[in-house]
Each structure stands twice: as C-alpha cells, then as structure tokens.
Homo-oligomer: A and B are copies of this chain.
Amino acid sequence: MKVSIFDVAKKSGLSVVTVSRVLNNASSVRQKNREKVLQAMKELNYQPNASARSLARGKTGIIGLTLSTLHDSFFDAVVKEINDRLAGHGYFLALSITGNDKEAFHRSLFQEDRVDGVILLSPTDEDEYIMELKRKKIPFIMIDNSKQNASVSSIIVDNFKGGYEATKHLIELGHTRIAHIAGPDPFLSSRERERGFLVAMEEAGLKPYRIERGTFEISSGYDIAMRWIDSGELPSALFASDDYIALGVIDACLNRGIRIPEAMSIVGFDDQKFASEFRPMLTTVRQPADKIGAAGVDLLLEAMSDSSRRKVTIQIEPELIIRESTARII
C-alpha cells in the first residue's frame, strides 16, 4: 500500500539513486529524466517519508518555537515572520506551548532529536530551558528574554530607548506632571522601560509625578487610574509600560468622562493590534516584529551551522508611533 522510492524508480524506469537525486536536487539529472521521475511521483501520489529522511540525514528540518501564550498580537507577528523566513530556508516551524510549565518542556516535542534548533520566545523560566537545551546540545536562541545572559544568543528590543523616547515625546509636548506605570519587576523589559523614563525625566530636570507598579493587564491600568481619578491626583501625561495597561487607563478615563488627550496624554508600549483600532488610537512604542523575527532566524541559523560561534545579543530599535492619545498640553 505504501509507495516508496523504489516504486517511483520502477515506474519511471530509472534507478532509486536517480530518484533520490531529484528528491534532493542533488547532482545532475537530465531534465527529461527529472520530469519522468516527477511524473511517476505524481501518478503514484508518492510522499517521501519524513522519518526515514530524517534518520538517514541526521536532521529533521524542523525548528521548534516555544511560547507561553498565543494571545498577543506582538507574538503573533513575530511568529509569522519567523515562520515565513524559515520556510524560505527550507525549514518548518513547529510551535509548542510549554510556557511556564517546566515539566511540559521536558516532555515536549523538542526532545528526542525531533528538531534541529529551538527558538524560545519570551521564555519565563529561562534557566531551566537553557540547561536542558545545552545538555541536549540543541542549538537555540532566545527572543525577548527577561534576563541578560551572555552565554546565550538572543534578540532583545532596546527597551531603554523605547521608554526614553516615549517620555521625551511627552516632555516635548510640554508636560511636566508625568507619571509612569511600570510592569512587573522581574522583567528586564519592564525595568529598562522604567529606566528610560527616569533618565528622560532627569535630563529634562523633571521629577516623576508618580511611579506605580502593575501587571501587563487591562485591569491593572484601570484600577490604578481609578485610584488617581478618585483622589484627584491625575497626572497630565502617562507613560505606561505596555498597551494593555494603557488601555485600562483609557478605559477608566472614558468611563469617568476624562477626555484623552485633552485632559491627559497617554503613551503605551508594544503597538498591539487594538492600539490602532480602539479610539482614541494609542500613541505607543512599536516593537518591530519583522526585524525581530528576521534577526532571530538569522541568529539561529548561524548557531546551527557553527555551534562554537560566539554568543551575541542583538538589540533591535523600537519606534515611537504617534497617534491620537497624546497632545500638547493646553
């Protein structure tokens, strides 16, 4: 029932070696014969067996990518870019949701030589993964990792610069009572954005109006903003550590009739999908998903071709996108 390379050889009147050659575009096969082979394959509905190929060649052609959640338009964009780019190099991408669960990772698809390389997208428990992958000698890189680690190649966004530019934008609009809602402390990205805020304020000779620490969720921004509103301590401008927080703040303002940007300017971070759909459209710092994905693939390919290569950390520059949620102070 199974049709193999032998059946194709017989049908096309050529040898298995020749068939194998056209399968791999290896050495030269006369055009006429190549077509014969292709024709036979089509007629027999032949499908090369991936397991056999992988076994014989010692590589699977599959790259694994872990992520913790699907629910983020930034990840979405990064993954799509990686997928396309990898396809261009003849690799397939297999996603695995092994997020926060170390156990799941140990049991994951990425064991047993199933993949030629791994990309860890925004891993939350890096050390575990790193040890595991190093032990298994699987080439890997990290994207958007939360800690600095010189022993691993990784791609990170220049969060400091993003925070700095966002804040500077507010300052240039004439604001002086500028607040910041930071993300969770364990995240490097969160701390770097905060540092960018602080430095920009300092340079302008301004004191932070206030700094709060939240989580990357709508409700976090909402609750904090409500507190501010109820105590009459609203800043004139806010830099939120991510778009969800910013959306929560806008939500609170909208519900209390506080106009944005007239009464308060807000800038977020990430440029999530809703940032350009929900009104007022959000001024935010975009993380260029395409560049990040592309750089990640390049880095992984390098690591795969030469595992002794020096580890590097590549910083990608984010970009301030000015929309409706910020305005010159009146």
Contacts and interface: CB of A to CB of B under 8 A. Distances in A.
A44 interface: no
Contacts of A252: 279
Query: How many copies of this kind of chain does the complex include?
Result: 2
Contacts of A55: 49, 51-52, 55
Contacts of A112: 47-50, 53
A87 B70 contact: no
B97 A94 contact: no
B92 A108 contact: yes
A60 B70 contact: no
Interface string A30-61: 00000000000000010111111111000010
Interface stretch (A123-131, A186-194, A214-222): A214-222
Contact of A95 (B95, B248, B257): B95
Given A79-B97, A80-B97, A251-B278, A60 B71 contact: no
Contacts of A50: 51, 60, 111-114
Interface in A212-256: 217-219, 222, 247-248, 251-252, 254-255
A159 interface: no
A219 to B, nearest CB: 5
A254 to B, nearest CB: 4
A83 B95 contact: no
Nearest to A82: B97
A299 interface: no
Given A72-B71, A279-B255, A135 B45 contact: yes
A215 to B, nearest CB: 11
Contacts of A113: 47, 49-51
Interface string A102-117: 0010011101111000
A281 to B, nearest CB: 10
A298 interface: no
15 contacts: A45-B136, A47-B111, A47-B112, A50-B60, A50-B112, A51-B54, A71-B73, A93-B96, A93-B97, A94-B95, A219-B277, A247-B278, A251-B278, A255-B280, A257-B257
Given A47-B113, A48-B112, A218-B278, 9 more contacts: A47-B112, A51-B60, A69-B76, A71-B273, A87-B107, A95-B95, A219-B277, A222-B279, A252-B279
Interface of A: 45, 47-55, 60, 62, 69-73, 75-76, 79-80, 83, 87, 92-97, 104, 107-109, 111-114, 135-136, 217-219, 222, 247-248, 251-252, 254-255, 257, 273-274, 277-280
